[in-house]
Every structure is written in C-alpha cells, then in structure tokens.
C-alpha cells in the first residue's frame, strides 16, 4: 500500500480565514481523493483530483469553497476557504490501491474553526 | 435513508471474546466491500477487502458479505485490547471512485 502523509496534522483557525492542506504520496498515482469526516458522521467524498485536469466535486461541494490543486502525480492540496465553525472536521486524502478497487488513507488533518 | 447503516455502539467486550460488527446497505449496485480500522487521532487503516458475496479470512479477522440480504459482517476472534478502535465499513460500485462509509462502530476490548 502507498504511504501517504498530510500537513498540517491539526490546526485551529478563525472564521473567515482559509487553510490549505497538503497531501503527499510516496508513489505516482492517477487519482487522489479528498474526504471529510465530521463528528459522529460517516466519511464523505469531497472531490476527486486528477493530475492535469480540474477536480471533480461531489454533490454538495463546490470549487469556490474547496479549491483543489494537483500539480503532479504524487501531490495534491485542498483549501478550505472562508471557514466557519461548521467546517470543523477531519480532512483526509486517499489513493487507490494498486490493482485494487479500494482506497488507502492518509493520517488526516484535524481542523477546528472558532 | 442512508446508503450505509452501521450501529455506532459503543461496544465493550472482554479480552478473548468474539466480536461481530455489521453493516446494512440499500444500493444493490455495490460490488466492493471493505472494513477499515481507525485508532483515535489516526486515519482509517484498511483491514479487509472483499468482492461480491462470500467470506474472506485473514488471521483473527473474517469478513462476510451477503448481497441477497444487503448485509456485511466483520468477525474478530480472540479479541485483544489492541483491537480497541472504531471500525468503519465501506463499499463501492464497480467502476466508481466514491466509497460510501458507515458511521463506524466504536469497540473497546477490556483486559
């Protein structure tokens, strides 16, 4: 399985500000995924990030709020823009397993918005 | 109705017990089924992965999928305190990228 790291591991932010989360993979992957894990709720896919094209967003998530970059095959960023306390959550990136229809996850970024 | 339903627990068992964790789902198009383990302040770790119906065993862990009932299970034999974690079921349609998760069951194994 791929080794995935995320930065920062946690942060406390003020409402109205933005935070960019980085995800680094130790191998080249076609697709990277960003999920949100809100307290007491299931992980929910925010968007799929492909290198060289615009990210694909799931229903309920928009590019203005969660802009994504994918500059190469091992790296992606997710920005949480104009944050409110409702954005307090764990944000996770994931990648496909090699030859498998499953996904491996990074350690997550724990965000608290005050 | 949620796509995937999972009893959040919490579930407490004595060390050595057999643990049964379950999820039900509504979408008959799901073909790939997974169980993840998530320790506190960590990301989900893939435990078991199965395709379609049937059983799969890996050490103390057994995953079962019953597509006719839209029901999946994870059994943990000889449970250990180190198994204390939140267990998440997840599933996916063929050709799709979106994993659908249950809310997770919090398990505590008491020494």
Residues in chain A: 114
Q: What is the pLDDT of residues A80-103, one digit of tens each?
A: 999 999 999 999 999 987 777 789
**Chain centroid offset of residue B29 CA:** 18
Angle at A19 (CA atoms; ends A18, A20), nearest 5 degrees: 130
What's CA B99's distance to the chain center, in Å?
13
The pair of three-digit structure tokens given for residue A112, joined into one six-digit string:
């608290």
- Percent share of chain B, pLDDT over 90: 84
- pLDDT at residue A52, as a whole number: 82
pLDDT band at B53 (very low <50, low <70, confident <90, very high): confident
**Nearest chain A residue (CA) to B31:** A101
Question: What is the distance between the alpha carbons of residues B62 and B108, in angstroms, rounded to a whole number?
Answer: 18
Cα angle value B65/B85/B69 (rounded, 5°): 15
pLDDT of B96 reads: 84
Helix or strand or coil: residue B33?
strand
B66 vs B97, higher pLDDT: B66
pLDDT confidence of B101, banded at 50, 70, 90? very high
Question: How does pLDDT run across A12-22, given as a tens digit for each residue?
Answer: 999 999 999 99
- Mark A48-80 as b/e (b = at least 16 C-beta within 10 Å): bbebeeebebbeebeeebbbbebeebbebbbeb
- What is the pLDDT, as a whole number, of residue A85? 96
Q: Are A70 and A79 in contact (CB under 8 A)?
A: no
**Distance, in angstroms, between A57 CA and closest chain B CA?**
11
Biggest distance spanned by C-alpha atoms of chain B: 43
Each residue's pLDDT tens digit, B55-67: 999 999 999 999 9
Distances (CA, A) of B100 to A33, B6, B29: 13, 12, 12
Say yes or no to pLDDT of B29 above 90: yes
Of all helices (H) and strands (E), which one includes residue B76?
Answer: strand B71-76
Q: Which residue matches tokens 């942060």?
A: A11
Taking every pair of Cα atoms in chain A, the longest distance, rounded to a whole number of angstroms, is: 42
What number is the average pLDDT over the span B32-50? 94
- Look at residue A1 in the predicted model and tell me its pLDDT: 75
Residue A2 has pLDDT above 90, yes or no: no
In angstroms, the Cα distances linking A45 to A34, A56, B97 are 6, 10, 9
User: Chain A window 10-49: which residues touch B at a Cβ cutoff of 8 Å?
Assistant: 31, 33, 40-45, 48
Query: How much is the pLDDT for B44?
Result: 96
Averaged pLDDT score across all residues of chain A: 94
pLDDT of B99: 92
Nearest to A104 among B4, B46, B51 (CB): B46
């Amino acid at each position: 399985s791929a080794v995935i790291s995320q930065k920062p591991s946690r942060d406390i932010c003020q409402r109205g500000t933005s935070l960019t989360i980085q995800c680094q993979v130790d191998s080249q992957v076609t697709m990277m995924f960003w999920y949100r894990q809100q307290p007491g709720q299931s992980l929910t896919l925010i968007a799929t990030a492909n290198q060289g094209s615009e990210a694909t967003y799931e229903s309920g998530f928009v590019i203005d709020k969660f802009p994504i970059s994918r500059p190469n095959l091992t790296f992606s960023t997710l920005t949480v823009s104009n944050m409110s306390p409702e954005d307090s959550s764990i944000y996770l990136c994931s990648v496909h397993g090699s030859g498998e229809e499953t996904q491996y996850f990074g350690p997550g970024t724990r965000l608290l918005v005050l | 109705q949620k796509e995937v339903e999972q009893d959040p627990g919490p579930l407490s068992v004595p060390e050595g017990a057999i643990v049964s964790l379950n999820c039900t789902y509504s979408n008959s198009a799901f073909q790939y089924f997974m169980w993840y383990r998530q320790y506190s302040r960590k990301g989900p770790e893939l435990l078991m992965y199965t395709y379609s119906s049937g059983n799969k065993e890996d050490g103390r862990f057994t995953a079962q999928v019953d597509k006719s009932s839209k029901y999946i299970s994870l059994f943990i034999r000889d449970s250990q305190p180190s198994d204390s974690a939140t267990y998440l079921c997840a599933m996916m349609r063929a050709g799709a990228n979106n994993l659908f998760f249950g809310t997770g069951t919090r398990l505590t194994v008491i020494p």
